[in-house]
Amino acid sequence: MTDQVILPVLERIADALERLAPATHAGHDLSAADAYVWHAERERLAPVQCVNRVDLKLLKGIESQAETLLQNTRQFTDGSPANNALLWGARGTGKSSLVKAVHATINQNTIDPLLLVEIHREDIPTLPRLLEILRESTQRTVIFCDDLSFDANDAEYKSLKAVLDGGIEGRPDNVIFYATSNRRHLMARDMIENERSSAINPSESVEEKVSLSDRFGLWLGFHNLDQATYFDICEGYAAHFGLDTTTDALRAAALEWSMTRGARSGRVAWQFIQDLAGKQGKNLV
């Protein structure tokens, strides 16, 4: 084949490879929004213009956890020492809602916005690459992973341990890591027990498994609600959104709703309010 034939083919191949190549660091514009989602397959931070969240004042029954996380985040935003945070506990008790609400509260009183970057559980192996990108930014950033947990065949927890605390680089000074989980040690109890029963040295094996949670300096526990707190949440939502109901009628309907769901939680209360607002033809904005 002559050069006249080969060169156009090589140019087309080069163009195709350039289109497939991930964007360079310079292509990440972190001024488009104050919240992003990390798309690992394309190494792209996608801006989120409208974050799905509720006001901090509407999160009832978790005032102590909210105060602690808000203070930790404020320290981080101010450039003071702060801890990675693990929010663990029962489903639907406001763990992820609290992270998003604290982020919004902090940004109400800051000139330089605090960034919130969500990374999905399955993309944890790409966390070092995300940190490389954020390390070059001067903006303070909370990396948020919702519903973080590991099963018996997962090995990603080892890389996460190194990133959070144990590696020679560690996390950048302008980045902090918040995670929510239903498991206090991020691993199922039967997984830990299996390790204990089958390992040559059970204590060392269990230490290896649970040491990941030790990388989080701040542990915040979330527990199932009592009925009074559940009613308080429902009444707070109803008043905030101007729903037309009496206290007795609201409580009766909210109790019936929770019984059909078999649980009382902030999530169940929100679902009840959505149903009530829909029946009244009102938008929850």
Over the stretch 10-52, which tens digit does the pLDDT of each residue have? 777 777 776 665 544 445 778 889 999 999 998 999 999 999 9
Same domain, 120 and 144: yes
Supply the pLDDT for residue 20. 64
Q: What single DSSP character describes residue 187?
A: B
In a domain, 26, yes or no: no
In a domain, 173, yes or no: yes
For residue 66, pLDDT beyond 60 = yes
Same domain, 51 and 141: yes
Supply the pLDDT for residue 212. 73
Share of the chain above pLDDT 70, in %: 81
Least confident piece of the model among 61-75, 91-105, 172-186, 265-279 = 172-186
Q: What single DSSP character describes residue 165?
A: I
Q: What is the mean pLDDT of the chain?
A: 84
Q: Strand pairing partners for 141?
A: 115, 175
Same domain, 249 and 169: no
pTM of this structure: 0.80
Same domain, 217 and 235: no
Q: What single DSSP character describes residue 41?
A: G
Same domain, 130 and 254: no
Task: Please list the alpha-helical segments (H only) found in 141-201.
Answer: 156-161, 189-198
Same domain, 207 and 232: no
Least confident piece of the model among 36-40, 137-141, 231-235 = 137-141
CA distance 135 to 170: 11
Q: What single DSSP character describes residue 27?
A: G
Domain termination site, one of 222, 244, 266? 222
Same domain, 72 and 115: yes
Supply the pLDDT for residue 84. 94
Number of domains in the chain: 2
CA distance 103 to 77: 10
CATH number for position 215: 3.40.50.300
CA distance 127 to 46: 15
CA distance 3 to 190: 65
Report the Cα–Cα distance between both ends of the chain, in Å, rounded.
67
Same domain, 245 and 165: no
Same domain, 218 and 231: no
Same domain, 131 and 235: no
Domain encompassing residue 190: 35-222
Same domain, 91 and 143: yes
Supply the pLDDT for residue 208. 57
CA distance 229 to 243: 19
For residue 68, pLDDT beyond 80 = yes
